Amino acid sequence: MSIFQNFINSSHSKREFLITLFIKIAGYSAIVFVGMIFIFLLLEGLPAVQKVNLTSLVSSRWYPIEDYFGILPLIGGSIIITLGATLIAVPFGIGSAVYLSEIAPHWVRELLKPLVEILGGLPSVVLGFLGMLVLSPFLRKLLDLPTGLTAFTGAILLGGIAIPTVMSVAEDALDAVPRSYRDASLAMGATEWQTIWRVTVPAARSGVLTAIMLGIGRAIGETMTVMMVTGNAPILPRGIGNLFSPVRTMTATIAAEMGEVANGSVHYHVLFLIGIVLFLISLAVNITASTVIFRQKKRQERILS
Partner 1 sequence: MNKISIQNYSLQYSDGTESLRNISLEIPANQITVVFGPAGGGKSSLLRVLNRLNDLADVIHQEGNVYLDSVDILSNKLDVINLRRQVGMVFARPVVLPFSIRQNLTYGLEVAGEKDTERLNYAVENSLHKAALWEEVKDRLDDPAIALSGGQQQRLCLARVLALEPEVILLDEPTSGLDPISTGKVEASLQDLKRDYTIILVPHSVQQAARTADLAVFLLQGELVETARGEVMFTNPQDQRTEDYIQGRFG
- Residue 79 makes contact with partner 1 by CB under 8 A: no
Strand-pairing partners, residue 68, are: 63
Residues 6+ apart with CB under 8 A from 192: 102, 103, 186
Which range touches partner 1 (CB under 8 A), out of 141-149, 213-221, 273-281, 297-305?
A: 297-305
For partner 1, which is the closer residue by CB, 6 or 194?
Answer: 194
- Residue 303 makes contact with partner 1 by CB under 8 A: yes
Three-state secondary structure call for residue 122: coil
- Residue 198 makes contact with partner 1 by CB under 8 A: yes
- Residue 202 makes contact with partner 1 by CB under 8 A: yes
Please list the alpha-helical segments (H only) found in the chain: 2-45, 47-51, 54-57, 72-98, 106-120, 124-130, 136-143, 151-175, 179-187, 192-195, 201-203, 205-221, 224-229, 250-257, 266-304
CA neighbor of 237 nearest in space, from 72, 57, 83, 84: 72
Binder to partner 1 among 181, 223, 277, 281 (CB under 8 A)?
A: 181
Residues 6+ apart with CB under 8 A from 259: none
Q: Which of residues 47-66 bind partner 1 (CB under 8 A)?
A: none
CA neighbor of 168 nearest in space, from 129, 224, 112: 112
Binder to partner 1 among 199, 209, 216, 236 (CB under 8 A)?
A: 199
Binder to partner 1 among 42, 49, 119, 190 (CB under 8 A)?
A: 190
Residue 188 CB, shortest distance to partner 1, in Å, is 4
Write phi, then psi, for 68 (nearest 5 degrees): -95, 115
Residue 199 CB, shortest distance to partner 1, in Å, is 6
Residue 296 CB, shortest distance to partner 1, in Å, is 11
Largest CA distance in the chain: 90
- Residue 104 makes contact with partner 1 by CB under 8 A: no
Residues 248 and 233: beta-carbon distance below 8 Å: yes
CA neighbor of 164 nearest in space, from 204, 215, 213: 215
For partner 1, which is the closer residue by CB, 54 or 304?
Answer: 304
Binder to partner 1 among 188, 280, 284, 287 (CB under 8 A)?
A: 188
- Residue 184 makes contact with partner 1 by CB under 8 A: yes
Q: How many chain residues are in contact with partner 1, going by CB under 8 A?
A: 21
For partner 1, which is the closer residue by CB, 13 or 194?
Answer: 194
- Residue 110 makes contact with partner 1 by CB under 8 A: no
Q: Which residues contact partner 1 by CB under 8 A? A: 178, 180-191, 194, 198-199, 202-203, 299, 303-304
